[in-house]
Structure 1
Amino acid sequence: MNKIYKVIFAIGLSVLAGKNAYTQTVPVGTPGLEDYYRRQQLLGKLDSSVSFSIRPLMPSVAFKVRNVFDPDSSLVNEGITKSSGHYRFANGHGEFQVLPFTWQNQFNSHHPYGWNDGAMIPARGYQTMVSGGFYAKIGPLTIQLRPEYVYAQNRSFDGFAEGRSDAELSDYYTFYNKEDSPERFGNGSYNKLFWGQSSIRLNAGPMSLGLSNENLWWGPGRRNSIMMTNNAPGFKHLTLNTIKPIRTPIGSFEMQVIAGKLENSGFTPLNVTANSTGRELFKPYRDDERYLTGFNINYQPKWIPGLFLGFTRDFMSYYDDLNGFKDYFPFFTPVQKVNSGIDGDPFDRDQRLSFYARWLFPKAHAEVYFEYGVNDNAYNLRDFAGSPEHSRSYIFGFSKMIPLKLKKDEFIEVNAEINQMSQTVDRLVRPAGGFYQHYQIRQGYTNLGQVLGAGTGSGGNLQSFDINWVKGLKSIGFGFERFEHNADFYEEYIEDLNSNSRRWVDFAFAAKGTWNYKNLIFNAKLQGIKSLNYQWKMKDPIPGGYYIPNNDVFNFHGELGLTYRF
């Protein structure tokens, strides 16, 4: 890791020559605030050159907001202390702020459900996460210390292994021996302290260089994203990124380059690791730290206001396989395999890439966006043209704000998104495996047992729709989603074992809301989930029958959170 420090800081020294700036982030997934900023941009009240595709947001610079946790000045006008923002010291050269205290709670009645909850784990029962800390600035140096503590009951539940045959268990491990995604995180309660949303940065002009443990979100998606989300805990990484768009004669640019370390969960895919004869099914992962590096860059053309075009790419390898600058930063490796020399390269990296676009229409209070990703690069252009759907995934969504007549600053917000992570029929000719899996790195694209990208995971497909009443930070609404669990696993193994089986599909309906009162922000979600063919199980198989009764379950998912802003 020392080599990475030297390279990144050498690059950064050339950047730190401009006017000092400070960066205070709104962590990815912050209840109420992230959505508020995005809605304000849709309404044309914030800078339309910020893409919202490289997060965490830095509104203090990007939107010139003095206190990023009080964007509507409600603390100044209505807060308990009637004050808001930073405390200055050292004759105005230093600034200090106590960060909001956040307490998030979650409950699942039957089995784990939910994603994009950071350090929380997939678990049944009660789970809680608390976080807080401080932010300080001295000259170009900023320090943000915001650790997170998680406790989960982690109660037992009816998982995949219950009543399975040796063949079914073997097939499960064939798939999940290539991905560190445990069904349950141990056999008892779970508790852990994380660095959370902490960082140390040097800032100059539009650039920031730092060491961070913050969650990242890459891409325009709201419910999911292919490359980076807050589905897993944050990971330690060095970052060089813009803190506001860099304006040029041809348009504006935003970018981020990272280099970091990923950790194993320490758990097996299932608690059962052997078949009935005692044969061990789990293959231990390689005992070496994983190195992840990648970049995200987007461009807003000067001639098409509101349009953002972006490209992301990441590379993952084991530290023992790294040797020299080109291995630590393989960004210029050709995308097409025919030009990369990969056939003769003993260091075959795991990599993914995606293209995305977001088109913002402030006058219509709307946006449309998509992301297209692949996890197996085409051999050449002809290969891609002949089979563009090979190893692909995609996200497509839109949002619309509808003003309410005779109601000042009140709107109906409509959001819809489709997330497709499973393989296409191209798998019959050339299977690509799970999107977050490759043979090079058997832990897969994970950190501490959870996928870094879309929370639906490899093979998971999601269609979601929600409608909300919104006013400022406040929102009340309903959401519906259909979630198909790991279609790749189903198509490869479950369907072949018994043609009577069906896909595991969840239909979920939720009532949700966010409400601010003085220094407080409350958030809540009450969600009922009907799981059809839970765990792909057949309790009462009927030869030749399509519908198999009594294999459906109901799960209640609840969330309740409180944020106190100082």
Structure 2
Amino acid sequence: MKKIFFILSMALAFTGLLKSKVNAQSVPVGTPALDDYYRRMQLLGKVDSNVSFTIRPLFPGVAFKRHNVYDPDTTLKNDNWTPTGPVSFANGAGSFQILPFSWQQQFNSDHPYGWNDGAMIPAKGYQTMVSGGIFVKYGPLSIQFRPEFVYAGNPPFNGFASGHSDKELIKYYAFYNYIDNPERFGNKAYSKAFLGQSSIRLTFDPVSIGLSNENLWWGPGIRNSLILGNNAPGFKHFTINTVRPINTPVGSFEFQVIAARLDATNFPPLLTTTTSTGANLVRAKTNDWRYYTGVNINYHIKWVEGLTLGLTRTFDAYHKDINTLSEYVPFFFPYQKQSTNDGDPIPRDQLTSLYARWLFTKAQAEVYFEYGLNDNSYNFRDFIGSPDHSRAYIFGLRKMLPFGTHADQHILLSGEITQLSQTVDRLVRGAGGWYVHSGVKQGQTNKGQVIGAGTGSGGNLQSMDVSWVSGLKKLGVRLERYEHNADFSASLADINGNSRKWVDFAFALQGEWNYKNLIFNATIEEVKSLNYEWFLKDYDPSSQQYYIPHNTVYNLHAIIGATYRF
């Protein structure tokens, strides 16, 4: 890793001798209105259909030939309070731009809820995040400095420990001792500054190489991603990636290869760390940062219009266990355990997924699918016999419908399913929970949050969205059913015969609206939590009721934000 960083630094020292007109400016994952705007425009056939949207952040300046990536519809050009966009210098060899200033606020009335909010934490009460910065480019060298600051009141709430027995606490720790995913981030207010969506790059169209702390999103999902998403804070990584599709006679390709650092928290799974008799529940974790590396590559088939096929593979291990080049770059490590003496030579957590996205521009629709595995099969025969062992998947679709006679207005219909719980195959052979690992006890997390699907290990989600859209504007409703960690709830069945599931039903009003330099975003969501925290208050084992009435909790989840574009 040190050698790689040294070589890159030496290369940066000579960039003043080079010139390039490539705009390597990214639109960070999760940017209100802008991040999804380009994907909606692709449904309408207004941007390049070869861009897969399965490797983000996007680089619209290169991929879609946008001069100002934060003004994609050019409405700011003639209607603004202050001029916007990059300013050129050095006879066009360089450019400078003040990045948008964003202020996002979030509130939960009863308990933590919500995901895909980057550096924000799961917390009750009020929290806020501010971000802004600058972008400078000269020749192929670009520097994007966009730090983030988060503050959360983080008041106490009724968590798992407040309503469960010692036996149930032991069960909880038996699962969550193998992942760094605390229920509450300490017992006081939380505040922290991050590098945020910052990067330094050398870009030679269509490939970019650099150091970054940006959030990454891999795969075609919109509400969730199996491998990488913006549920956790961005992490430090070295990257080689395409900024637009590479065209060839047989189709186009996109890829990203990363070598990264994942960090842990010092928080236990619960603030209650002992049983009522004083027995310790916490199992110590290795005090070392984790080396995380992965590859995402996809192929846009020339002869099948709109179809993209992709593969991702990632490895997560403690840095102290990485010694050889093959361990730093392990992408050709065999999938089949039969070829590796039935195991990995070092404690290492592997994930892989196959995905597909099919865009139908004439129908203004898309369908997508991602199928992932968190445990390798012994051999090919084993996989054929049990292809659903350790699997998780995401399936979704979107469709644009004309809104009356308004050519610039549409109704957007969206639906997505995330399934992370183990299948019935677990009765024969347990696969373990997604993002959880016995050898790498922090699991697939960064700073205490899962780097993949925000619904977390064992979480299942069904989501439906109906919205009116016009340019950057969007107004709509969202309905969701979220089942919390079905793998863990199944383990509670050994106690008092309890097999109750904790399920949230959520209804949200959401909107995004641009006015001159401003973009506003808001979500008001009512969440009904049935069997909250798997509590057993007033539980009657002889009852046929599936949901226990006195264990229903209501929560108001609200988001409001504003972004000013310079």
Q: TM-score, normalised by structure 2?
A: 0.97
The residue that corresponds to 1:516 in the other structure is 514
- Structure 1 vs Structure 2 CA RMSD: 1.8
Mapped partners of 2:399, 2:128: distance in 1 = 33
Superposition pairs for residues 45-84 of structure 1, below 5 Å? 45-81=46-82, 83-84=83-84
Structure 1 CA distance, aligned partners of 2:279 and 2:424?
A: 34
The answer to whether the 8 Å contact 2:96/2:134 transfers is: yes
Q: 1:290 to 1:11 in 2, by over 3 A?
A: farther
Contact 2:18-2:139 within 8 A present in 1 as well: no
**Which residue is 1:442 aligned to?**
441
In 1, Cα distance between equivalents of 2:530 and 2:19: 58
Alignment partner, residue 187 of structure 2: 187
Aligned to 1:336: 336
Change (3 A) 1:464 1:525: same
Asked whether the 8 Å contact 1:501–1:538 carries over to 2, the reply is no
| 1:403 corresponding residue in structure 2 | 402
User: Take 2:414 and 2:19, find their aligned partners in 1: how far apart are those partners?
Assistant: 40
Aligned mates of 1:3, 1:35 — CA distance in 2: 37
- Equivalent residue number for residue 385 of structure 1: 384
How far off is 1:10 after superposition?
A: 10
Residue aligned with 2:253, SS: strand
| SS of alignment partner, residue 384 of structure 2 | helix
1:342-367 Cα distance to aligned partner (Å, 9 max, x none): 54x53242110000000000111000
Percent of aligned pairs with the same amino acid: 61
**Separation of aligned partners in 2, 1:124 and 1:359:** 39
Deviations 1:507-543 (A, max 9, x none): 0000110000000000000000000000000111213
TM-aligned CA distance change 1:500 to 1:336, over 3 Å? closer
Q: Deviations over 1:471-511 (max 9, x none)?
A: 1000100000000000000112x122122451000000001
Contact 1:210–1:238 (8 Å) recurs in 2: yes
Q: Residue type of the partner of 2:27?
A: V
For residue 362 of structure 2, give the secondary structure of its aligned residue in structure 1.
helix
Matches within 5 A, 1:78-93: 78-81=79-82, 83-93=83-93
Q: Is the 8 A contact 1:317 1:349 kept in 2?
A: yes
What amino acid is the match of 1:533? N
- Find the residue that maps to 1:409 and give its secondary structure: strand
- The 2-side partners of 1:340 and 1:543 are apart by 48
Q: CA deviation at 1:80?
A: 1.2
Which residue of structure 2 lines up, in the alignment, with residue 529 of structure 1? 527
Deviations 1:126-172 (CA, angstroms, capped at 9, x unpaired) = 01000000000011100000000000010100000013211111110
Q: How many residues align?
A: 562
Structure-2 separation of matches of 1:232 and 1:126: 18
What's the offset of the Cα at 1:340? 3.2
Match status 1:207 vs 2:207: yes
8 A Cα contact 1:12 1:240, kept in partner: no
Tell me the CA shift for residue 440 of structure 1.
Answer: 1.7
- Find the counterpart in structure 1 of residue 33 from structure 2: 32
- SS state of the match for residue 61, structure 1? helix
Question: Displacement, 1:283?
Answer: 1.1
Between stretches 155-164 and 52-61, larger displacement belongs to 155-164
1:173 alignment counterpart = 173
SS in 1 for 2:99: strand
Q: Does the alignment pair 1:130 with 2:109? A: no
In 2, Cα distance between equivalents of 1:52 and 1:501: 39
Q: Is the 8 A contact 2:18 2:140 kept in 1?
A: no
State the TM-score, normalizing by the size of structure 1. Answer: 0.97
Residue 5 of structure 1 deviates from its aligned partner by 2.5
User: After alignment, is 288-297 or 331-340 more displaced?
Assistant: 331-340
C-alpha separation in 2, matches of 1:118 and 1:104: 11
Aligned to 2:537: 539
| Matching of residues 477-556 of structure 1 within 5 Å | 477-492=476-491, 494-547=492-545, 548-556=548-556
Asked whether the 8 Å contact 1:41–1:362 carries over to 2, the reply is yes
Q: Is the 8 A contact 1:12 1:209 kept in 2?
A: no
Q: Deviations over 1:5-60 (max 9, x none)?
A: 257789999xx999662300000000000111110000000000000000001000
Q: Which amino acid aligns with 2:436?
A: Q
Report the counterpart of residue 258 of structure 2 in structure 1: 258
Partner Cα separation in structure 2 for residue 560 and residue 397 of structure 1: 26
State the distance in 2 between where 1:206 and 1:17 align.
Answer: 16
Q: 5+ unaligned residues in a row in structure 2: which ranges?
A: none
Report the secondary structure of 2:25's partner residue.
Answer: coil
Q: Which residue of 1 aligns with 2:565?
A: 565
Q: Which amino acid aligns with 1:57?
A: L
SS of the counterpart of 1:247? strand
Equivalent-residue separation in structure 2 for 1:497 and 1:3 (angstroms): 53
Unmatched runs of 5 consecutive residues or more in structure 1: none
Where 1:488 maps in the other structure, the secondary structure is helix
> How many angstroms apart in 2 are the aligned matches of 1:252 and 1:9?
30
Report if the CA contact (8 A) 1:261-1:291 is conserved: yes
- State how far apart, in whole Å, the 2-side matches of 1:394 and 1:549 are: 32
